[in-house]
A and B are shown apart, each in its own frame.
Chain A
Amino acid sequence: MNLTLKIWRQPDASSAGAMHTYELSDVSPDMSFLEMLDVLNEQLNEKGEEPIAFDSDCREGICGTCGLMINGDAHGPEVTTTCQLHMRSFKDGETITIEPWRSDAFPVVKDLIVDRSAFDRIIQQGGYISVNTGSAPEAHSVPVPRDDALRAFNVATCIGCGACVAACPNGSASLFMGAKITHLGELPQGQPERDTRVVNMVAQHDHEGFGGCTNIGACTAACPKEIPLDVISQLNKDLRTAIKHGH
């Protein structure tokens, strides 16, 4: 298949960027989206034009490194990561617009690559259970109801890709944060720090410049791991409880 690609190019964080148009022919529908870009990059390299920078690592949908805005959808038209998207989801002759995640908390580093370290800083503010190595009690000393463990697992599958932020009209990271709050809050081990965790994480989230959530739901629709909106309800509830407890 033949494609017209409109791609954001930006030399570095401080320079201005613009959309560039490329034509690519003989694309196989079996290629992954990123392999399609690999092929384009080979051709650019051949022509003496610097290849387009984009992020990826595992290319199997688990590390969360990849992430492109494809025709206005975070990670493209399927519910999966960009690296697991295949060209058979597109039509011959189609024009595909490719942009980086847009969020002022995720500044563009180069071309399609953004800086998501804000997520790490949110985790630093309480996205953990404080337990020093070696001080843990025997694993079976605290049984965890199976359903709680299951819910914790389901939301702990978040890969930190940032698609939720990219898709959100408010640029909020509430789905990401809610997933962590719910994961740890669902387990007995997570209880002691529950109030401080939510307050500090939300404060950091706001400090990073993410927007506030208005429950639009674009995040969950874009999330490759299908993290449900329940986690935002949980996040709100935990914060409300923390206020009640005087935090």
Chain B
Amino acid sequence: MTGARAARTTIALKLGMAVSGFIFLGFVLAHMYGNLKAFAGQEAFNEYAHHLRELGEPMLPHEGALWIIRLGLILSLVVHVACAVALWRRAARARTTRYVVKKNTGVTRASLMMRWGGVTIFVFLVWHLLNFTIGKVNPQGGATDDPYLLMVDTFEVWWMTVIYLVAMLALGAHLHHGIWSAAQTLGWTGTAAKRQRAKTFGFVVALIVSVGFSLVPLAVLAGIITK
């Protein structure tokens, strides 16, 4: 069957990564918007967190929409990581004898960091979920049922903020290459001008995301956002 043939190619894997990556991107942007609510104060922030759970009601049960989103994200994560691993393994097999000297002329650092950067994000993700969603660990031992307080307590600890910032740096780098790469994978960059536009767009979005996410923890550390 030819249908399976096209879908089994490395390009199909890449298409999977691009689509799942864009789903992530959508989530990340929404998430960042939510985080920035912290600047509007405890009430607005918690209202937003609460609202997320009520989304779609009464058509959907409580937390229904949230779970749909979560399932979508989990599925995307599985696809994204599975494809990434498959491509990684193929690449490793494609060159089993390494060069003694190898330069990467004309290549961005971000593009070379996708895999380890991805792993970094993944590890952070686990930590992050433990911290805020599943485990709800408050490093200062304070409240865990109030999202705003949990957040402020967390980022008041300097090394928590550092972990977070490093992760955002990794995310930024990942998106810097990832966004343009996804556009290329989807075949949207058929001319030099379009390619340049996609690259610029990727860079700008990556910057917005990493700065956007970093503002809140930095503001907490700087005492701008307080309990």
Contact = CB atoms under 8 A, between A and B. Distances in A.
B188 to A, nearest CB: 7
A162 interface: no
A232 interface: yes
Interface in A191-247: 196, 199, 202-203, 205-206, 209-218, 220-222, 228-230, 232-240, 242-243, 246-247
A103 B107 contact: no
A206 B99 contact: no
Given A104-B95, A216-B107, A211 B10 contact: yes
Nearest to B185: A236
A188 interface: no
Contact of B99 (A72, A105, A222): A72
Contact of A72 (B14, B93, B102, B111): B102
Contacts of A232: 184
Given A170-B94, A230-B195, A234-B187, A221 B100 contact: no
Nearest to A233: B189
A211 B101 contact: no
Given A97-B100, A222-B105, A171 B91 contact: yes
Contacts of B184: 215, 229, 232-233, 236
A240 to B, nearest CB: 6
Nearest to B15: A240
A243 B103 contact: no
Interface stretch (B1-9, B71-79, B164-172): B1-9
Contacts, number: 170
Q: Say whether chain A's binding surface is mostly helix, strand, loop, or mixed.
A: mixed
Interface string B177-193: 10011001111111110
B15 to A, nearest CB: 6
Given A104-B94, A247-B2, A247-B3, A230 B191 contact: yes
Contacts of B105: 73, 167, 218, 221-222
Interface residues of B, number: 50
A213 B10 contact: yes
A235 B191 CA distance: 13
A1 interface: no
A210 B94 contact: yes
A81 interface: no
B94 A103 contact: yes
A190 interface: no
Contacts of A199: 2, 5-6, 9
Q: How large is the interface on A (under 10, 10 to 19, 20 to 34, 35 or more residues)?
A: 35 or more
A102 interface: yes
Contact of A216 (B2, B111, B185, B192): B111
A206 B95 CA distance: 14
Contacts of A242: 6
B181 A211 contact: no
A211 B111 contact: no
A19 interface: yes
A27 B12 CA distance: 50
Contact of A218 (B15, B98, B107, B177): B107
Nearest to A212: B10
Contacts of A84: none
B65 interface: no
B97 to A, nearest CB: 5
B190 A214 contact: no
A172 B106 contact: no
Given A72-B101, A246-B3, A237 B186 contact: yes
Contacts of A71: 101, 103
A103 B95 contact: yes
Contact of A202 (B11, B186, B192): B11
A215 B111 contact: yes
B99 A237 contact: no
7 contacts: A72-B103, A172-B10, A210-B94, A215-B111, A217-B108, A217-B111, A243-B15
